[in-house]
Structure 1
Amino acid sequence: MSIEAIKKNMYVELTYAILDAQGEIKERVDIPVKYIHGRDSGLFPQIENALEGRAKGDRVEVFLTEHEGFGPSDPNLIFTDDINNVPPQFHQVGAEVEMQNDRGGAKKFTVIKIEDGKLTVDGNHPLAGQTVQFVVTIGEVRLATEEELKSGVTQDFSVSGDATVH
């Protein structure tokens, strides 16, 4: 049996970890995610390109700048308000608050600070404004079936903070 190298129309399973600039693991996905290589996978292009030609068991490391990854931090998505104006269930750092804009669109914000009677929420992805490292371990690699090519097997590569890994 030959080792299958990743190329277009291959079914691929992988696990990954995302590390910050200090090497701290910010997110880890140990349940294999599946995609069809070269078919609008939802992966960041730099990651998909780095996987090209690789095989099961390979470990691939990819660094993404803030512009290649989760984007710059937008100060317009950070709000501070008097804690008394915020429902009690959100009075803890890490609590997630869903807010709507005037057009009815919803966005998740995370409480990042409580200090001096003020509560601050941030709607940026937690890794916005940072260079990150993806450490990807390749699992199963094989030719995709006709059904997988039709259905697009791809899954949502969402990571914490409502951003998609693409």
Structure 2
Amino acid sequence: MSDTIEDFKFVELNYRVVDVKTGDILRTVEYPLGYVHGANDVLSEEVQTHLKGKKAGDTIDIPIDVDKIYGPRDETLVFTDQIDNVPEEYREVGLTITMENEKGQTKNFIVTRMDDKTVTVDGNNPLSGRDVMFTIEVLSVRDATQEEIDCGGAVGADPDINEILK
């Protein structure tokens, strides 16, 4: 039994997304992420390629091309309006607001700025336009059970990092 990451191994890891320019940590997991390597698409193929052959205790840095993942930043998705035109429940920086267009399509916008007179919302992914590094710490590697292989990760888990890594 090998403790090296390869297909059908159950892997637990921690990660953080760091802004290369500022060094700020933009995202981090609150609990270890468990997945079955090669059995699902929780992590992008590029990230899985970098992880293959790593062992518990290894830490790797992977530059992420957010333009490739989300497309380039689109300034037409940034709107500023008078605060009086914005309902009070939407006047909180960091709040996600789901809006719908005339075709019934929805898009999430985040309140990014607010002052006494205006509120600004941004429909771009928060990582768009940034140069980011994905830092992964491998916590454990073991043979996956058949049940874990079938569901692609820890049984009963629901990891949600696709928005960052796909």
8 A contact 1:156–1:164 mirrored in 2: no
Q: Which runs of 5+ in 1 are unaligned?
A: none
SS of equivalent residue, structure 1 residue 124: coil
Tell me by how many angstroms 1:158 deviates: 2.8
Query: Which amino acid in the other structure matches residue 5 of structure 1?
Result: T
Tell me by how many angstroms 1:29 deviates: 1.0
- State yes or no: 1:156 paired with 2:159: yes
SS of equivalent residue, structure 1 residue 38: coil
TM-score (ref. length: structure 2): 0.85
Tell me by how many angstroms 1:115 deviates: 4.6
Superposed structure 1 runs of 4+ greater than 4 Å apart: none
Tell me by how many angstroms 1:136 deviates: 0.4
- The aligned counterpart of 1:146 is 146
- State yes or no: 1:50 paired with 2:50: yes
- What does the per-residue CA deviation read over 1:8-56, in whole Å, with 9 as the maximum and x for residues that have no partner? 1111111111100221111111411111111233213222111000011
Query: Which amino acid in the other structure matches residue 121 of structure 2?
Result: V
Q: Which runs of 5+ in 2 are unaligned?
A: none
Residues 111 and 128 (structure 1), Cα distance of their counterparts in 2 relative to 1, 3 Å cut? same
- State yes or no: 1:8 paired with 2:7: yes
Output the CA distance in 1 between the equivalents of 2:92 and 2:59: 38
8 A contact 1:73–1:128 mirrored in 2: yes
Going by fraction, where is strand more abundant, 1 or 2?
1
8 A contact 2:15–2:134 mirrored in 1: yes
Query: Which amino acid in the other structure matches residue 48 of structure 2?
Result: E
Output the CA distance in 2 between the equivalents of 1:61 and 1:46: 12
Query: Which amino acid in the other structure matches residue 110 of structure 1?
Result: I
Residues 107 and 10 (structure 1), Cα distance of their counterparts in 2 relative to 1, 3 Å cut? same
Residues 130 and 85 (structure 1), Cα distance of their counterparts in 2 relative to 1, 3 Å cut? same
Tell me by how many angstroms 1:164 deviates: 4.1
Output the CA distance in 1 between the equivalents of 2:3 and 2:134: 22
Tell me by how many angstroms 1:82 deviates: 2.1
- State how 1:32-47 maps to structure 2 within 5 Å: 32-47=32-47
SS of equivalent residue, structure 1 residue 157: coil
- State how 1:31-110 maps to structure 2 within 5 Å: 31-110=31-110
- What does the per-residue CA deviation read over 1:115-134, in whole Å, with 9 as the maximum and x for residues that have no partner? 57232100111111112111
Residues 90 and 164 (structure 1), Cα distance of their counterparts in 2 relative to 1, 3 Å cut? same
- What does the per-residue CA deviation read over 1:44-85, in whole Å, with 9 as the maximum and x for residues that have no partner? 322211100001111111111232444321223212222211
Going by fraction, where is helix more abundant, 1 or 2?
2
8 A contact 1:96–1:109 mirrored in 2: yes
RMSD: 2.1
